[in-house]
Amino acid sequence: MRIIAGKWRSTALAQVGKGDAVAHLRPTSDRVRESLFSMLTHLGVINDARVLDLFAGTGALALEAVSRGAHAGVLVENGRVAQRLISQNLDKLRCRDQVQVLGMDATKLGPVSGDPFDLVFLDPPYGKSMGQAALNAAFKGGWLAPDATIVWEESTPMQAPDGFDLRDHRRYGDTYVTVLDYVG
């Protein structure tokens, strides 16, 4: 796994192997990230964005966004294995001034302490309805900027809940990416 483009292009990230089922780590493949970021670049939602990565895993999605011009990132992850991998990646990229890690449950965010986020990655453990709970917590806690873009990765296509418009659905093998716009 590596950063695909931007200032950290081709930098290898900490190795997860085939993932960690116990820790619910299944990194988004380079191919899926490349397609996803091509779409996000076309939509013009990366440059200067404040990025929130819920269920961050290795942090690869937010780190890719920062590499491509996002202003800053906050990674929410409560798994110890994933937090260790994120820490290794932040050290490797020397980006602790741009990227913050919150060791907490993404489904229990509470009120935001700072500016809301323009681009949100939501990559929960598949099939556990945790994505819906985390999106609801982000909404209720004021974590979403007006017109925020949400990129939701799951094993099935997701429907747009109240307050969100469906922008796109994409399928990559057994992974579905749903792109939503927050409309308040």
Looking at residue 135, its pLDDT comes to 97
CATH number for the domain harbouring residue 101: 3.40.50.150
CA dist list (Å): 151 to 16, 66, 175:
22, 15, 12
pTM of the model: 0.92
Range(s) of the domain holding residue 134 = 30-182
Whether 18 maps to a domain, the answer reads: no
Whether 74 maps to a domain, the answer reads: yes
Whether 64 maps to a domain, the answer reads: yes
Whether 55 maps to a domain, the answer reads: yes
* Calpha distance 50→119 (Å, rounded): 6
| Residue 163 φ/ψ region, left for φ over 0, alpha for ψ in the -120 to 50 degree band, beta for the rest | left
Nearest to 184 by CA among 150, 133, 134, 152: 150
Q: What is the pLDDT of residues 135-181, one digit of tens each?
A: 999 999 999 999 999 999 999 999 999 999 999 999 988 889 999 99
